Amino acid sequence: MPDPQSFDVVVIGAGPAGVNAAITAARLGKSVAVAEKNPTVGGAALNTGTIPSKTLRETAVAFAGLRTRNLHGVDLSLRRECTVADLLHHERAVRDTEQARWVSLLGRYGVTVISGAARFADPHTLIVAGPGGDRTVRAEYVVIAIGSSPVRPPLFAFEHTRIHDSDEIVNLEQMPKSLAVVGAGVVGCEYACTFAALHVPTHLIDGRDCLLPFLDLEIAQALTAAITELGVTFHWKEQVTACQAPTVGDIRLTLSSGKELVVDAVLVAAGRESRTADLNPEAASLLVGKRGQLCVDEHFRTNVKHIYAAGDVVGFPALASISAEQGRLAAAHACGDAGADGVPAIFPTGIFTIPEVAAVGETEGSLKGKGIDYIVGRADYTQTARGEIVGDQTGFLKLLFAKDGLRLLGAHVIGEQATELIHLGLMTMEMGGGADLLWRTCFNYPTFGDLYKFAAHDAMLKRG
CATH of 5-148+274-334, one of 3.50.50.60, 3.30.530.20, 3.20.20.140, 3.30.70.380: 3.50.50.60
Q: According to CATH, where is 3.30.390.30 located in the chain?
A: 355-463
In 319-405, at which residue ranges do the beta strands (DSSP E only) sit?
349-351, 357-361, 374-380, 396-402
Q: What is the pLDDT of residues 296-346, one digit of tens each?
A: 999 999 999 999 999 999 998 888 999 999 999 999 999 998 767 778 889
| Greatest pairwise CA separation for the chain in angstroms | 78
d(CA 39, CA 149): 16
- H-state helical runs in 201-291: 217-230
What pLDDT band is residue 170 in, cutting at 50, 70 and 90?
A: confident
| Class of the domain covering 163-270 | alpha beta
Contacts (Cβ under 8 Å, ≥6 apart) of 190: 53, 57, 351, 352, 353
Identity of the residue numbered 298: E
Indicate the CATH number for domain 355-463. Answer: 3.30.390.30
Nearest by Cα to 143 from 343, 336, 342, 331? 331
Count of other CB atoms within 10 angstroms of residue 240: 22
* More reliable by pLDDT, 189 or 464: 189
Q: According to CATH, where is 3.50.50.60 located in the chain?
A: 5-148+274-334, 163-270
pLDDT at 82: 63
The secondary structure element, H or E, covering residue 115 is strand 112-115
Q: What is the pLDDT of residues 281-292, one digit of tens each?
A: 999 999 999 999
Q: What is the pLDDT of residues 374-387, one digit of tens each?
A: 999 999 999 999 99
pLDDT at 87: 72
